[in-house]
């Protein structure tokens, strides 16, 4: 008989995912605004470093997901343009959406090791 919890995230991992999701959304919104105004301007080193801090954590979190092979960090040496950064961050957001769809039920409850059936589990 197959273990129903095999491959499921833990409640602790979901809390981390939600924190990273909020940070990624904030960065995405900020860089998207920059991209609207000046798409071909390069991000500065400070911004690239700060964005990459979040992306590194996300990539580590998503390491078991098939989408991880498509997730790249921003190049701190070449300094990507605002529009290039949006493309990269957007790929992370798509991977996170995939994770969310995979581990949430139709009622928005997370399926976790502690709650594989997601009845009355974490929101």
34 within a domain of the structure (yes/no): yes
Ranking 15-19, 86-90, 111-115, 119-123 by mean pLDDT, the lowest is 119-123
123 within a domain of the structure (yes/no): no
Q: Dig out the tokens for 25 from the structure.
A: 């959304």
pTM: 0.90
State pLDDT tens for residues 48-98: 999 999 999 999 999 999 999 999 999 999 999 999 999 999 999 999 999
109 within a domain of the structure (yes/no): no
pLDDT score of 3: 67
pLDDT of residue 121 exceeding 70, the answer is no
6 within a domain of the structure (yes/no): no
Look up the domain containing 79 and give its range: 11-103
Q: How many CB atoms lie within 10 A of CB 58?
A: 25
39 within a domain of the structure (yes/no): yes
d(CA 15, CA 122) in angstroms, rounded, equals: 9
Mean pLDDT for the chain?
92
58 within a domain of the structure (yes/no): yes
| CA neighbours closer than 13 Å in the CB half-sphere of residue 38 | 6
108 within a domain of the structure (yes/no): no
pLDDT score of 120: 58
Q: What total number of domains does the chain contain?
A: 1
4 within a domain of the structure (yes/no): no
């Amino acid at each position: 008989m197959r273990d129903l919890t095999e491959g499921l995230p833990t409640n602790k991992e979901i809390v981390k995912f939600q924190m990273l999701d909020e940070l990624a959304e904030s960065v995405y919104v900020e860089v998207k605004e920059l991209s609207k105004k000046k798409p071909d301007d390069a991000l500065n080193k400070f911004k690239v470093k700060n964005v990459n801090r979040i992306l590194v954590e996300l990539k580590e979190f998503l390491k078991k997901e098939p989408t991880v092979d498509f997730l790249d960090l921003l190049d701190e040496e070449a300094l990507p343009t605002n529009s290039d950064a949006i493309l990269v961050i957007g790929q992370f957001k798509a991977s996170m959406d995939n994770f969310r769809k995979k581990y949430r039920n139709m009622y928005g409850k997370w399926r976790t090791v502690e709650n594989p059936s997601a009845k009355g589990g974490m929101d």
